[in-house]
Amino acid sequence: QVQLVESGGGLVQAGGSLRLSCAASGRTFGYYAMGWFRQAPGKEREFVAVISGTGANRYYANSVKGRFTISRDNAKNMVYLQLNSLKPEDTAVYYCAAGRDYNAYVTPRSDREYAYWGQGTQVTVSS
């Protein structure tokens, strides 16, 4: 059973930064893509960013491209999301997710391609 635990959320002013972390356990970490999703109140969960198992491939939602950076440390079973130039519309619960496929090169963007999810961490950006 895979377990994912997010941390690093909080309250920040617009223009500020946060770094989210996700600790993974339970399987060979480096063979699976890891993604970040978010869900704002009253809205559906949306894709934010994904990184392939090797770390070589990354993909971002247009809304965060140039502001957010996803990274991973396979030796520590950790994945990170650096959030810069935050906007009030970035306010949401952010979820870490582990890909379903045993493939170190894919970058899935649909939540149906993820098998395991963390409990989420709240990010609130004030104007």
pLDDT in tens, 12-60: 999 999 999 999 998 778 899 999 999 999 999 999 999 999 999 999 9
**Inter-residue contact 49 to 42 (CB < 8 Å):** no
**pLDDT at residue number 26:** 80
- Quote the distance between the C-alpha of residue 45 and its chain's center: 12
The arithmetic mean of pLDDT across residues 65-85, rounded, is: 97
Q: Residue 76: what are its φ and ψ, rounded to 5°? A: -105, 0
Radius of gyration from C-alpha coordinates of the chain? 13
Closest CA to 92 of 5, 4, 18, 3: 18
**pLDDT at residue number 1:** 79
